[in-house]
Structure 1
Amino acid sequence: MKEQLNEIIRQVYNKKNRNLFTFLTGAGISAESGIPTYRGIDGIWIKGTKFHKPEEFGTFKYFKENPEEVWQYSLFRKKMFENAQTNESHHEIVEIENLLQDRFHLITQNIDNLHRRSGIKTIYEIHGNNREIKCSNGCKGIENLPDEIEGKDIDEDLTEKDIELLKCKECGSWMRPNILWFDEYYDEKTNKKFSSLKIAKNSGILFIVGTSGATNLPMAIAESTLRYGGTIVDINTEDNLFTELVKDKKNKIIVRETSTQALKTIREILQTIIAE
């Protein structure tokens, strides 16, 4: 595996066209930081005594009917994210960005802010993020969640001040988290849809790290890289939908190691090539 990686990284590094190194990350990369993966056995959303499947709870429809409940859960996750620490995988990716400079791009499905906290500069958050809010009625742009609103325990209610701050100043509707819900479509403004597809097209290598490919845009990103001759490197601990996508392709490398192990190898290969 290391020889394969060394060969393709060297090829792409020396190419003039379609020579970007792109990393696509998902919940698996934050698992070491103690954040539950989205679709694993711990991926069921629990709120009080109610049990929800993400596909039911994580929708704009559910938010419109139960805004306070959704905000309580969002602020519970805010506290979880803030208490989590960046891990070795996050730090390895920062080192790789420092080596590659403007040839590096990170596309992440994670909303937890850990990549930004680790020091990444070039990042596309295609599922939105937990830092920002927007009017649920669509009348305002994206803005930061007010600093006065703090993370909460799972059974902690919103305060009157929270509710006041979470209402749109123009129309009075509830503000909502700036994230992609299951009944919504990717766009450029919130999800960087077209930017990320353009990056994928120009990527000599797409490293897929800690994600199974269960949503549309990540799969389209991988398909675009393949279509234009790039190589997919599937870094996951088990087979997934990306594995199925590339099973008959020549331009692929399957890596069944932890993200930290694989990223360390990639970083060491790059250091060697750049030092030559």
Structure 2
Amino acid sequence: MTDSTSNLDQNGTLYITGAGVSAESGIPTFRGEDGYWTIGSHNYTPQEMATRHMYQHHPREFLRWYYHRFATYRHHGPNDVHHFLADKNLITQNIDGLDGKAGNPNYIAIHGRLDQMTIYHQQDQPVDIVAAPWDNVDTENLDNSLLALFNINGQPELYHSYKPFVLLFDEYYTDLYRISEAEQRMKSAERMVFMGTSFSVNITNMALEIARQRKIPVEIVDPNPVIVPYANTTYHRLRASDYIQTA
């Protein structure tokens, strides 16, 4: 795969962002009091809902939950942090697409994109990524409308039904999500800056391990930062919007 970072952030900094960056755009974080993970369905916890297993066996409830928890935020706009990152070498855990709306031409959305979907397929197989049909949803007949738009009759069928382009808890990183390119960007970085992330997902742990191996400096920007096991770390106990005023 061609390295596409040559025109981005010539000082060698790789930015890795999480849900805290989009909070100022009105999008709830995952683990805050109003976060996605604090609100489940009537019968399942959020950790159970956001799985391939739930999509496969309970697609009606999965799509309804996904629509209410994610798709209803699809028209929110980028904030000052997204605009600051628009010309930066960036990997985001967020699926909201706000970095693209801010003008970043080649950021990596390592967990997928809210505004996109794919044909339902076996993982690690190449498939096209297409626009998701959220604007065509009939909210007066929500369940049936979602099932029809995602080509689901009963249960999802491989290579017939559609699935939101989002990496679920029981799935793994593949090159559909540009994981090889993300790893290359980590290995090429001279500095890593983590913004608004809880270090609770594999991609941040992978990045931190590569930083330790390469002995490059790390900065963590968060009002309540996670303390990581790496000495060459600087903590900025700030919101990302305050940090960019001094960066």
Which residue is 2:3 aligned to? Answer: none
Deviation at 1:28, TM superposition (A): 0.3
Residue 94 of structure 2 is aligned to residue 92 of structure 1: no
Deviation at 1:200, TM superposition (A): 0.9
Give the direction of change, closer, same or farther, for the CA distance of 1:142–1:72 in structure 2 (3 Å limit).
farther
Structure-2-length-normalised TM-score: 0.83
Which string of whole-angstrom CA distances, capped at 9 and with x for unpartnered residues, describes residues 113-157 of structure 1? 11111111120111111122223343871332354743676x862
Which residue is 1:24 aligned to? Answer: 16
Residue 239 of structure 2 is aligned to residue 258 of structure 1: yes
Which residue is 2:105 aligned to? Answer: 121
Structural mapping, 1:46-57, within 5 Å = 46-47=40-41, 50=42, 52-57=44-49
Please report the RMSD computed on the Cα atoms of aligned residues, expressed in angstroms.
Answer: 2.7
Which residue is 1:109 aligned to? Answer: 93
Worse-matched range after superposition: 83-92 or 131-140: 131-140
Distance 2:173 2:126 in 1: 18
Contact 1:213–1:219 (CA<8 Å) still a contact in 2? yes
- Unaligned segments of structure 1, at least 5 residues: 1-12, 98-103, 267-276
Deviation at 1:55, TM superposition (A): 1.7
Residue 173 of structure 2 is aligned to residue 181 of structure 1: no
Deviation at 1:61, TM superposition (A): 0.6
Which string of whole-angstrom CA distances, capped at 9 and with x for unpartnered residues, describes residues 171-221 of structure 1? 67431111111111111222x222111111111111100001101122101
Structural mapping, 1:211-222, within 5 Å = 211-222=197-208
Structure-1-length-normalised TM-score: 0.75
Contact 2:126–2:176 (CA<8 Å) still a contact in 1? no
SS in 1 for 2:229: helix
Larger radius of gyration: 1
Which residue is 2:193 aligned to? Answer: 207
Which residue is 1:167 aligned to? Answer: 151
SS in 1 for 2:246: helix
Which residue is 1:150 aligned to? Answer: 136
- Amino acid paired to 1:261: D
Contact 1:72–1:156 (CA<8 Å) still a contact in 2? no
- Unaligned segments of structure 2, at least 5 residues: 1-8
Which of 20, 39, 42 is the aligned partner of 1:45?
Answer: 39
Distance 2:223 2:71 in 1: 28
- Amino acid paired to 1:144: V
Percent identity between matched residues is 24
> Which structure carries more helix by proportion?
1
Deviation at 1:27, TM superposition (A): 0.3
Which string of whole-angstrom CA distances, capped at 9 and with x for unpartnered residues, describes residues 212-250 of structure 1? 11011221012112311211001011131xx2232xx1x
Which of 57, 65, 69 is the aligned partner of 1:65?
Answer: 57
Which string of whole-angstrom CA distances, capped at 9 and with x for unpartnered residues, describes residues 51-109 of structure 1? 54322111111111111221122233454322322112112222xx2xxxxxx410000
Contact 2:120–2:159 (CA<8 Å) still a contact in 1? no
Distance 1:148 1:203 in 2: 37
Give the direction of change, closer, same or farther, for the CA distance of 1:20–1:252 in structure 2 (3 Å limit).
same
Deviation at 1:166, TM superposition (A): 1.2
